[in-house]
């Protein structure tokens, strides 16, 4: 099983699986979706929010959004790398995709769920990040480093210097500023480096080499920075701070290294077993947006019935995680493309190809 090849041969049982999908990004996207399902189910079992389960769930929650950004960068780089791809056309298409994500996010934010909707932040990341991918890899890496270093102080400067009546207003300008710099959960400045890193990893290729070993070492070193500082110094690392970003980087790189290691196993029967294990993640990852909408609808329905944060309702938690996941796998198996993915595909195909 080659991590850089398409998956059409690996999953012949999926009748409508797109033949040009790449294994590693789909699996990573699926892991991000499952991580979100688990994190969003935790309010349904509040007694588990502490201890080992709470610790694991907190890490799963921290993993999801930067991993989404990483895979989004991989996907954008993959489209740009296709033979005959027009950079200008891809930029316009991703502007449309980004606008759809923002619109969906605003819409979902009014459904009454307890989910902090990440779609507007990802939409801005996609729209701003795609033009950067037209540059050479070294310049993309430089841009990622600059945003990574400047992100935290820039967030603090905007929070301290901007007029609060503008910054926190529910106006287009206020919302864009919040999504970009001061949102308590996600920010463009913190997601963009992961987007650019994902593009660089796609350009390099998914294989076992020295870079993969370096990524593993960085993951091991970066992950414990935040908890060590919190315990030894008493530092309270807010979301978007340097320790928090390093913590997220460790989680994301660990997931990437693990998936690449699994996806590059070629010896049977191990490769067949791994392919079977990865298939449910690949399935949900190939229609992630549709699954995201479904989970928000389920959580909103639970919230409307008064569930969450009060008493344990393990049945509802299992329904949210395993039920939504199962629906996604069955849809992938018997239908193929998700409805939201289909709609966005129709919209982006309206962008005319450049004349030859």
Is residue 237 within 8 A of residue 243, CB to CB? The reply is yes
User: E strands within 16-64?
Assistant: none
Question: Tokens 């929650």 appear where?
Answer: 61
Residue-wise pLDDT tens digits, 184-225 = 999 999 999 999 999 999 999 999 999 999 999 999 999 999
Tell me what the pLDDT averaged over the chain comes to: 90
pLDDT at 9 exceeding the cut of 50: no
Report the C-alpha gap between 7 and 162 in whole angstroms.
Answer: 48
Burial class from Cβ neighbours inside 10 Å (0-12, 13-18, 19+) for residue 29 reads buried
Mean pLDDT of 55-69: 93
pLDDT at residue 127, as a whole number: 97
Helix (H, G, I), strand (E, B) or coil at 22: strand
In the structure, what pLDDT confidence band is assigned to residue 356 with cuts at 50, 70 and 90? low
pLDDT at residue 354, as a whole number: 77
Burial class from Cβ neighbours inside 10 Å (0-12, 13-18, 19+) for residue 243 reads buried
Q: Write down the pTM of the prediction.
A: 0.91
State both tokens at 320.
């949210």
Burial class from Cβ neighbours inside 10 Å (0-12, 13-18, 19+) for residue 226 reads buried
Sorted by sequence, the CB contacts under 8 Å of residue 340 that are 6+ apart come out as 104, 287, 289, 290, 293
Is residue 114 within 8 A of residue 129, CB to CB? The reply is no
Tell me the angle at which helices 270-285 and 324-334 cross, rounded to the nearest 10 degrees. 100
State both tokens at 285.
């990852």
Q: Domain-by-domain residue ranges, the chain?
A: 23-348
Residue 282's closest CA among 49, 31, 1? 31
């Amino acid at each position: 099983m080659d991590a850089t090849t398409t998956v059409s041969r690996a999953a012949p049982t999926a009748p409508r699986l797109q033949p040009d999908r790449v294994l590693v990004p789909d699996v990573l996207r699926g892991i991000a979706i499952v991580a979100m399902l688990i994190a969003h189910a935790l309010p349904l079992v509040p007694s588990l929010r502490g201890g080992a389960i709470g610790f694991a769930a907190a890490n799963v929650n921290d993993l999801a959004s930067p991993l989404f950004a990483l895979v989004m960068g991989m996907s954008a780089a993959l489209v740009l790398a296709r033979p005959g791809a027009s950079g200008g056309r891809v930029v316009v298409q991703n502007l449309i995709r980004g606008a759809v994500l923002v619109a969906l996010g605003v819409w979902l934010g009014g459904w009454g769920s307890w989910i902090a909707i990440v779609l507007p932040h990802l939409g801005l990341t996609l729209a701003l990040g795609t033009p950067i991918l037209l540059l050479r890899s070294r310049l993309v890496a430089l841009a990622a480093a600059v945003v990574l270093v400047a992100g935290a102080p820039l967030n603090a400067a905007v929070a301290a210097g901007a007029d609060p009546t503008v910054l926190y207003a529910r106006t287009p300008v206020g919302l864009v500023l919040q999504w970009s710099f001061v949102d308590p959960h996600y920010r463009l400045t913190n997601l963009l480096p992961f987007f650019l890193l994902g593009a660089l990893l796609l350009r390099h290729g998914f294989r076992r080499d020295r870079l993969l070993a370096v990524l593993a070492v960085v993951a091991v070193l970066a992950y414990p920075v935040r908890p060590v500082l919190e315990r030894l110094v008493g530092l309270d690392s807010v979301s978007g701070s340097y320790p928090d970003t390093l913590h997220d980087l460790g989680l994301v790189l660990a997931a990437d290294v693990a998936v690449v290691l699994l996806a590059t196993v070629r010896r049977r029967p191990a490769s067949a077993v791994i392919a079977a294990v990865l298939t449910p993640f690949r399935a949900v990852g190939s229609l992630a947006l549709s699954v995201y909408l479904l989970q928000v609808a389920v959580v909103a329905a639970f919230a409307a019935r008064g569930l969450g944060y009060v008493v344990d309702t393990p049945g509802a938690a299992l329904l949210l995680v395993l039920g939504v996941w199962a629906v996604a796998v069955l849809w992938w198996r018997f239908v193929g493309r998700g409805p939201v993915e289909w709609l966005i595909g129709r919209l982006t195909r309206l962008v005319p190809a450049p004349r030859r």
